[in-house]
Amino acid sequence: MVALILGIIFIAFTVFSVLPAAPLAWGANVIEFLKGFLPVLSAFVGLIAILIGLADIKDKKEAKREELEATKNN
């Protein structure tokens, strides 16, 4: 329950701070941050995708090998 209330408070603050009519008006700063952070985020996502793909290939090879061993033992 506390996490839900805190989440609502943080979302409300975020919306309030980004609105152009609000006293903080951080909208331009948020856009500037996102422009700088997007390439870094896409690099991390790409790296994670490559690692997941390599692990998937490794798992498929190992599953095939175990299947061949199981058929040889029977």
Question: What is the reported pLDDT for 21?
Answer: 87
Please say if the pLDDT value at position 65 is more than 80. Answer: yes
pTM, to two decimals: 0.62
Question: What is the reported pLDDT for 53?
Answer: 96
16 contacts 22 by C-beta, under 8 angstroms:
yes
Please say if the pLDDT value at position 72 is more than 80. Answer: yes
| Digit-coded pLDDT (tens) for 29-61 | 999 999 999 999 999 999 999 999 999 999 999
22 contacts 13 by C-beta, under 8 angstroms:
no
Question: What is the reported pLDDT for 22?
Answer: 85
- Report which secondary-structure segment, H or E, holds 73: helix 27-73
27 contacts 18 by C-beta, under 8 angstroms:
yes
**Using alpha carbons only, what angle is made at residue 64 by residues 63 and 68, rounded to the nearest 5 degrees?**
115
